[in-house]
Chain A
Amino acid sequence: MTTVHLDEVQKRFGDVHALDGIDLEVAEGEFVSLIGPSGCGKSTLLRVVADLEQPTSGGVLVGGKSPHQARVDQDYGIAFQQAGLLEWRSVVENVELPLHVHGVDKATRRSRAIELLELVGLADFAQSRPSELSGGMQQRVAIARALAPSPRLLLMDEPFGALDEMTRERMQAELLRIARETAAAVLFVTHSIPEAVVLSDRVVVMSPRPGRITDVVTGERPGVDRDVDDVRESSAFFSAITAVREALRKGHP
C-alpha cells in the first residue's frame, strides 16, 4: 500500500492556479523531496497532504485514508521551517505535546518522549527550556515531536531552511538515520538541490504558474552501508545534481 497517493490534484486560490494535474505516489518508507522555485506550489502540495488545505479537485489518500481521517488518526507527523516549540514547556514536554493532546497518560508519554530525545541525540536536554537550545537543536526537538505518535509518514516543509550550512549537513545525516530507524516515509519540501539529492530516493521537480510536476529524478539516498559524506563526494551525486538543475531550468525557461 502506498503512503501517499495523489491523483490529478488541482488547487486554486481565486485566480491563482497553485497546483495543476499533480499525480504522485510515495511508497512506504520512501523519501521523496519536492523542489522548485518559489510559487511552484510545493508547500501547498504538502499542506494538501497534511489536510491544512483542501484540494479544488482530484483525489488524495494518505495511508489509504482521506487526509482528514489521517490527520485525526495522527498518521503523519509534521515539521515546519520554524521549530515552533512552546516556550512555556520544557524540551521533553514539547516532544510530549502530540501525545498530551491525545490524552496519553503521563508515564507513557514521558518514556516515549525520552526515547525520541535519545533518537535525536538530545536526551541530556530534556529539562531545558527551548530558548536555551541552538537553532539546529530546536529543529531536532521539532522532529522528535513530529515522531511522537509513531507516524508512518513525516511531512517536512523546509525544516533546515533557517540553519547554517554546517548545521544543515549534520541535520541531513541525522534525518537519514532517523528515517532509517523509524522506517517512516518522508515527504520533504526544500529549496536546496544538494539537500534534495542526498536525502531522497526520488526528487520531484516542480515548476510554477500553474504548479506542476515537470520531472522526477532518482536521488542518491545512502543505504545502511554507505556514509552520507561519501555520497556527497561521489560522481553519481554530482550527476544527479546536474540532472535536477537541468530539470529545473527546463521547467522554468
Chain B
Amino acid sequence: MVGRARGVGAAVVSFVLLVVLWELAKLLLPDEGVLVGDTRVLPRTDEAAMPHVWTVFGRLFEPEVAGAADPRTVGAAVASGALFTLGLALGGLVLGGVLGMLLALAMQRFGLLERAALPYVVASQTVPLIAIAPLVAGWGGKIAIMGWSWQPWASVMVIASYLAFFPVAVGMLRGLNAPAKADVELFRTLAAGWWTTLVRLRLPASVPFLIPAARLAAAAAVVGAIVAEISTGTRGGIGRLIIEYQQSATGDPSRLYTAILGAAVLGLVAAGAVGLLDVGLRRYRGSVR
C-alpha cells in the first residue's frame, strides 16, 4: 500500500512539475521564441502557441458551440470522444493481444514458423499506419459478416489491433522461450507433453515479459485508434475532435489542447487497464531468473 501511495504521489508531483515548467517557459521566454540567426531553437510562447494551463482547463467548461440549443461543454465533448476511442483502443488491445499471443504460441511450437513469420511481423510495423488505415476501411466496406455489415469503428479497432499485436507477439515469444534449458529438460524427464510444459512452465515464465509488452501494446492501441479515426474519418472519437479543434486552432488554440489532454488521459487509462492485469498475475511477476 505504501508503494501504491508513493506511486500516486509521484504521478501528482510530476504533473505539477509539468504545469510549472509550462508556465515558467511562458513567463521567462519571449513570445516569439528564441532565435539563433534565422533558426528558431525554442518555440513561440504566445497565447496562440502555448495557452495558459488555466485557459485550457477553463475551456473545458465552456459550451462547444456558442449559443447552440444543446449547450454541451467542450469538456463533455472531449470526455465522450475519449470514452468512444478508449472502447475502440481496448477492443483493439484485446483483439491484438489475443492474436499476438496465438502467433507467439504458434512460433514457439513450430520453429520453422518463427523463422518464416518473424520477418513479416517486424515488417508489418514499418508500413506507415496512414497507408494501411484507408486500405482496411476500404476492405471493410466491402464485407458483411453473417448479416452484420462492417462499421467504420470496426476498421478503427482492427487498425488499433494491428499496432497492438506486435509488442505482445514479440514479448510473449521471448517469454515462452525464457525457461532455462534445465527447466525444459526437467519437464521432459517428467514425461510432460508440449501442452503441460506450456501451461506449467512456459506460460508462467512468460508473464514478466508479457506485462511490459501489454503496456506498450496499450499505448500503441491508443495511438493506432486515434490515427485510424483521423485517417478513416470516423466520427465520435477523440481523433475526430482533434481534427475539428485543429481547424479552429487559429481562433481558439486552447481548444486543441483540451483534445490533446483528453488523448493523454485516454492513454493513461489504457495503461492502467494493463496495470490491473499486472495485479492479477502478481504471483508470476518475479519469475525471471
A residues near B (Cβ < 8 Å) are 50-52, 71-72, 74, 76, 78, 80, 82, 84, 86-88, 97-98, 100-102, 131
Contacts and interface: CB of A to CB of B under 8 A. Distances in A.
B191 A74 contact: yes
B188 A84 contact: no
Contacts, number: 48
Nearest to B191: A72
Interface in B191-245: 191-192, 196, 200-201, 204, 207
Contacts of A82: 180, 182
B204 A88 contact: yes
B208 to A, nearest CB: 10
- Most central of B180, B186, B192, B286 by chain A CB within 10 Å: B186
5 contacts: A80-B186, A82-B182, A87-B286, A97-B200, A101-B200
B47 interface: no
Interface of B: 180, 182-183, 185-192, 196, 200-201, 204, 207, 283-284, 286-287, 289
Nearest to A70: B191
A88 B287 contact: yes
Given A74-B191, A98-B190, A86 B201 contact: yes
A72 B196 CA distance: 14
A87 B189 contact: no
A78 B196 CA distance: 19
Contact of B284 (A51, A52, A88, A97): A88
Contacts of A101: 187, 190-192, 196, 200
A98 B190 CA distance: 6
Given A87-B289, A97-B200, A78 B191 contact: no
Contacts of A50: 189
Nearest to A130: B289
A114 to B, nearest CB: 20
B190 A74 contact: yes
Nearest to B282: A88
B189 A84 contact: no
A78 B204 CA distance: 22
A184 to B, nearest CB: 15
Contacts of A100: 200
Nearest to A148: B190
A98 B186 CA distance: 9
A78 B189 contact: yes
Contact of B190 (A86, A88, A97): A97
Given A72-B191, A86-B183, A86-B287, 19 more contacts: A50-B189, A52-B188, A52-B189, A71-B191, A74-B190, A74-B191, A78-B186, A82-B180, A84-B180, A84-B182, A86-B201, A86-B204, A87-B286, A87-B287, A88-B283, A100-B200, A101-B190, A101-B192, A102-B190
A242 B260 CA distance: 80
Contacts of B187: 101
Contact of A71 (B182, B189, B204, B283): B189
A245 B188 CA distance: 35
A131 B285 CA distance: 13
A97 B189 CA distance: 12
Contacts of B192: 101
Contacts of A97: 190, 200
A98 B100 CA distance: 31
A69 B135 CA distance: 56
Contacts of B188: 52, 71
A76 B186 CA distance: 12
B190 A80 contact: no
Nearest to B288: A87
- Most central of B190, B286, B289 by chain A CB within 10 Å: B190
Contacts of A84: 180, 182-183, 186
Nearest to B185: A52
Contacts of B287: 86-88
Contact of A80 (B182, B196, B204, B284): B182
A7 to B, nearest CB: 22
Contacts of A78: 186, 189
Contacts of A71: 188-189, 191
Nearest to B286: A87
Contacts of A131: 286
Contacts of A51: 189
- Most central of A76, A97, A131 by chain B CB within 10 Å: A97
A97 B183 CA distance: 12
